[in-house]
Amino acid sequence: MIEKAVILCGGYETRMLPITKTIPKTMLPVFDKPLIQCIMEELKECGIKKVCFIIDDNKQIVLNHFKRNVDLEMYLQAKNKYEMLESVVKTNNMLEIEKRNDNHLGAGYAIEVAKDFVGDEPFVFCLSDEYLENNGNGTIKQLMANYYKYGKPVIAVQEVPRSEVFRYGIIDPIRVDEQTSIVKNIVEKPSVEQAPSNISYLGNAILDKEVFSVININKIKGRKEINIPDLFENYIRNQNLLAVNIVGNRFDLGNKLGFVKANINAGLKDKTYGNELAKYICDLADIIRMQNR
């Protein structure tokens, strides 16, 4: 059983400035929840017991979100705001959390600080800026199902428009089944002409301790920085890395347009405000059409 997860929360997050000057992007809301809560809820549903945050000291707000706020709970209790109270209490100690300081050697090397946390067990690796909407069957659930089916390390992928492959890490796949491929290679931001496919690596994975051997080899080689796809070198060389084509609407909260789209999507599904928001969007669309005539 996989019971541990490592979440990468480091970096300066410049694509979302100025808000990320003081608020980590993983605390940005998806409607009324911070993204990190969405991630933690899914991890808990998948049977994860322990989580390690790779994070800077100035992002303590992320850890505080999962601690008790006694004053707030007492206030909501006194005001008989039980639904709000329940939403607050459910985040308390949601999972067992440990923290490791980011070593600021790049995303590939950052995971090394969690080596003692991981030990010899397979673990879920998460970036903290992706949100997937698929009626409760999120990225982590789909990764876990694939891992338990095939018993191999697996990364999350999804098709992107061919014209946009230069923005992503693109895999060279060998198809195993309708949703699964063996990864022959990952090409970082290839040109449209040189891209081996239009299937992009999303940033989440299930890995094992072999990843730390790869990190050590790169250190011996003197590489000052490695990207996350570089962590998969040994797996790929031995044809031991699978990719699962994730089903659902994926939003990248690490960029401003993705953030706006994610919130519109989540807002439309809200039971209280969804219909009103839909009407507003329709009215706004009419105004835009009139302006563009």
**Mean pLDDT, 10 residues at a time, the chain of 293 residues:** 90 84 90 92 93 89 93 95 93 90 80 90 89 85 94 93 89 92 91 92 90 85 81 86 92 88 93 95 91 81
Q: What is the DSSP letter of 211?
A: H
| 288 & 232 share domain | no
Residue 171, classed as helix, strand or coil, is strand
C-alpha dist (Å) from residue 1 to 109, 121, 147, 148, 210:
26, 9, 10, 9, 18
**65: Cα within 13 Å, side-chain hemisphere:** 21
What's the pTM?
Answer: 0.89
Contacting residues for 127 by C-beta, under 8 A, at least 6 apart: 7, 8, 203, 204, 228
Other Cβ atoms less than 10 A from the Cβ of 203: the count is: 22
For 264, the domain range is 255-293
Question: In this structure, what token pair is assigned to residue 66?
Answer: 């999962």
- Residue 157 is part of a domain; what is its CATH number? 3.90.550.10
Same domain, residue pair 279 and 201? no
Both 116 and 154 in a single domain?
Answer: yes
Domain count within the chain? 2
What phi-psi label fits residue 47: left (phi over 0), alpha (psi between -120 and 50 degrees) or beta? left
